[in-house]
Amino acid sequence: MADSQNLEVKIDNPEDSSQWQENEGSSDENSKWYTKTILQSELADYSPVKGCMVIRPYGYALWENIQQALDKMIKDTGHQNAYFPLFIPESFLNKEKEHVEGFAPECAVVTHGGGKKLEEPLIVRPTSETIINYMFAKWIQSWRDLPLLINQWANVVRWELRTRLFLRTTEFLWQEGHTAHASEECARNEAAKMLGVYETLAKEFLALPVLTGEKTANERFAGAVNTYAIEAMMRDGKALQAGTSHYLGQNFAKAFDIKFQNAASQIEYAYQTSWGVSTRLIGAVIMGHGDSFGLILPPKIAPIQVVIVPIYKTEEEKVMVLDACSKLANELKSTLRIHLDDRDGHTPGFKFNHWEQKGVPVRLNIGPKDIANNCCEVVLRIDGKKIQKQPLADLKNYLTELLDQEQKRIYDRALAFRTENTVWANSMHELEEKLNSHNCFVQAFWSGSTEDEVNIKQNTGATIRVLTKHDKKGSCIKTNSQTNTVAIFAKAY
């Protein structure tokens, strides 16, 4: 009787990331791996509409789990969801100068409706500052109306030339927060608070250790005073911007006339923020954790946390094994997202590969001998580690703890990888040398100019991902002046 062990196929070293790391210099190989992983695991598919993708059920379930976690945090911090029109009159976009310059080249434009040419073209929202702030002006009169804390879950459209599944698509799903406050301090606190919410989401749910900090003027949101971001390191050493929070000052308030009477009866413009994360987070999870076998999904957001693969040879065994597996799945389904792979016509080996590709954190192999011994075999996705023969009794508590442990291990693995691939540079020469040697994060004291950044990008392909503050001061590698600002340089998606 074979039971599960002999049927194990290429599980000994599923973390064959060496193979993938070898190819890190070749963006083509990474790119192929990324696309293949998405298509094979059925997260998404190409659509017949240029630059637009179809999010398949497995990918959408992942998004729903991310949404659910974030939505709760957004509500717990006092925000309310609402919904604003998809279409924005063209004239609205023109009201904030920097905003229109940033977004006009990316717009999809509706020129006809109901068989007629429209008097004013409508823009399909690339982001909703303009339409939402138009409404804010209507709703806000007094300091009593503030803060106004609104969030929207929606689709947005940006006409991208180079598109990539989840990372950069013409249409994508996101949430966009828009708030108005009675003082600069309140608005700045809000921008910082929501950056913190994104950091928590990334760390605790996506198992991604992110860096937080401010963007340079170069990468600031069109119309913002300050843009803050969370940045994650992908398994190829490149950076991915995973979420942004903007302090908008009074820029949009002035453009849209959002005024309020303050407690001293004076009229003031409101202070504002906006912040958003998108389906790009799924791309971050894929590239932040995956290996050559496919996806590795953190248990907290995995659509399937535990998969049961029944193992049998004869019809008699099949009946017995499937019966026991069904009972087990039913027992566990109230506490875990569990799936029993009872498909006929596929070997256990095929199923092992299938669920490894799909990144299911924990697999239970159950054969006739296991049932006789009242146990099962547990296999962990990260490293293919097998935990020999776990008793079926009290499996619920065991798996709950195991999933917590795996969530932590996935985070620790990503953190260790980032730590290994983060270095300091004490001179411009060192910076460029390190950035050109392999994909990594290079830290350096920095007070350089936008022009200096552009030069570095030309020489290395890397940009400043975020600016952070160090406890001590050091010499800027470009200007030599003393500063406690540290720039994180990296090549980015």
Catalog residues that contact a copy of itself under the rule CB under 8 A. Answer: 45, 47-49, 52-57, 59-61, 63-64, 80-89, 92, 104-115, 121-122, 124, 131, 134-135, 138-139, 150, 154-155, 157, 159-161, 170-171, 173
Rounded Cα gap, residues 101 and 97, in angstroms: 6
Determine the 3-state secondary structure of 277 from DSSP. Answer: strand
**Long-range own/partner contacts, residues 100-106 (CB < 8 A, 24 or more apart):** 100/222, 101/222, 102/221, 102/222, 102/223, 103/127, 103/158, 103/222, 105/159, 106/158, 106/159, 106/160
Report in angstroms how near the CB of residue 101 gets to a copy of itself at its nearest: 13
Rounded Cα gap, residues 465 and 471, in angstroms: 19
Report in angstroms how near the CB of residue 184 gets to a copy of itself at its nearest: 25
Report in angstroms how near the CB of residue 77 gets to a copy of itself at its nearest: 14
Q: What is the residue type of 35? A: T
Rounded Cα gap, residues 415 and 392, in angstroms: 33
- CA 275 vs CA 107, 433, 459, 469: distances in Å: 20, 35, 32, 22
Q: Which is nearer to a copy of itself, 83 or 373 (CB)?
A: 83
Q: Which is nearer to a copy of itself, 47 or 405 (CB)?
A: 47
Q: Which is nearer to a copy of itself, 295 or 392 (CB)?
A: 295
Report in angstroms how near the CB of residue 64 gets to a copy of itself at its nearest: 7
CA-based torsion, 188, 190, 196, 201: positive or negative: negative
Q: Which is nearer to a copy of itself, 108 or 428 (CB)?
A: 108
Count of C-beta atoms within a 10 Å radius of residue 35:
14
Report in angstroms how near the CB of residue 137 gets to a copy of itself at its nearest: 11
Q: Which is nearer to a copy of itself, 256 or 489 (CB)?
A: 256
Report in angstroms how near the CB of residue 127 gets to a copy of itself at its nearest: 15
270 within 8 A of 181, measured Cβ to Cβ: yes
- Residue 324 is inside which H or E element, if any? helix 315-332
Assigned token pair, 379: 């296999």
Q: What is the residue type of 279? A: T
Q: Which is nearer to a copy of itself, 173 or 428 (CB)?
A: 173
Q: Which is nearer to a copy of itself, 63 or 417 (CB)?
A: 63
Report in angstroms how near the CB of residue 453 gets to a copy of itself at its nearest: 26
- CA 40 vs CA 237, 369, 426: distances in Å: 23, 32, 44
Q: Which is nearer to a copy of itself, 159 or 424 (CB)?
A: 159
Q: Which is nearer to a copy of itself, 54 or 217 (CB)?
A: 54
413 within 8 A of 440, measured Cβ to Cβ: no
Report in angstroms how near the CB of residue 158 gets to a copy of itself at its nearest: 9
Q: Which is nearer to a copy of itself, 129 or 214 (CB)?
A: 129
Rounded Cα gap, residues 248 and 251, in angstroms: 6
Report in angstroms how near the CB of residue 45 gets to a copy of itself at its nearest: 7
Q: What is the residue type of 4? A: S
Angle in degrees, 0-180, between the axes of helices 57-76 and 184-200, rounded to the nearest 10: 140
Report in angstroms how near the CB of residue 199 gets to a copy of itself at its nearest: 26
